[in-house]
Amino acid sequence: MGVTIEDRSALTRRIGGRHLPVARLAPDSGAMDSAASPHVTVFVVEDSPAIRERIVEMLAHVEAATLVGEAETALDAIDGIRRCAPDLVLLDIHLREGSGLEVLRATRDTAGRPMFVVLSNDTSAKQRSTCLAAGAKHFLDKSLDFLRITEIISTFAIQRGQPQLHRRAP
């Protein structure tokens, strides 16, 4: 699948009978200007299509979130994060090709480094501490903490001085 960004126009994705934004890039910079946007730009890295779809559907109901890209491999994620300069990355740690740790380490010095939220089924203390040491701000258990994603995005937006946010009606 790779990164879903193909050009600098607004792309849409059809989910549940609706068209939802997948990527919006500023015409001249290749990334959204988060200071001018009322949204938190989000990049999703997940190799499971079913889980990725669930995340995208969830993001569609978060007023603060604008999905700017998706990737299912470490290399596509690194490229997409550098090109999109998202505010926040939802990152699966175990990918079919590469790992989320590679992504964290490779984007460590990226200008405007995004906040990383790691999602994993491997919630061992060692895995958690390794991810946090590599730069993740949050480490979530996929099976227990999945719904915290919307809370984290809304809190992040508020901390950045965004207006109070409400969930969109489904």
In the numeric block, the tokens 């949050």 are attached to 138
Q: Does residue 26 lie within any of the structural domains?
A: yes
CATH code assigned at 29: 3.40.50.2300
**What's the pLDDT at 146?**
87
Q: What is the pLDDT of residues 18-58, one digit of tens each?
A: 334 333 333 333 444 444 444 799 999 999 999 999 999 99
Q: Does residue 141 lie within any of the structural domains?
A: yes
Task: Specify the pairing of strand 11-15 against strand 18-23.
Answer: antiparallel
Whole-prediction pTM value?
Answer: 0.74
Q: Does residue 77 lie within any of the structural domains?
A: yes
Q: Does residue 118 lie within any of the structural domains?
A: yes
Domain that holds residue 20: 11-159
Q: How many domains does the chain fold into?
A: 1
Cα-based distances in Å from 131 to 12, 62, 140, 166 = 32, 26, 11, 30
Q: What is the pLDDT of residues 73-132, one digit of tens each?
A: 999 999 999 999 999 999 999 998 999 999 999 998 776 789 999 999 998 999 999 999
- On the 0-12 / 13-18 / 19+ scale of CB atoms within 10 A, 105 is middle
Q: Does residue 80 lie within any of the structural domains?
A: yes
In the numeric block, the tokens 């200007």 are attached to 33
CA distance 59 to 43: 11
Q: CA angle, 170 as apex, 147 and 139 as ends, to 5°?
A: 15
Q: Does residue 101 lie within any of the structural domains?
A: yes
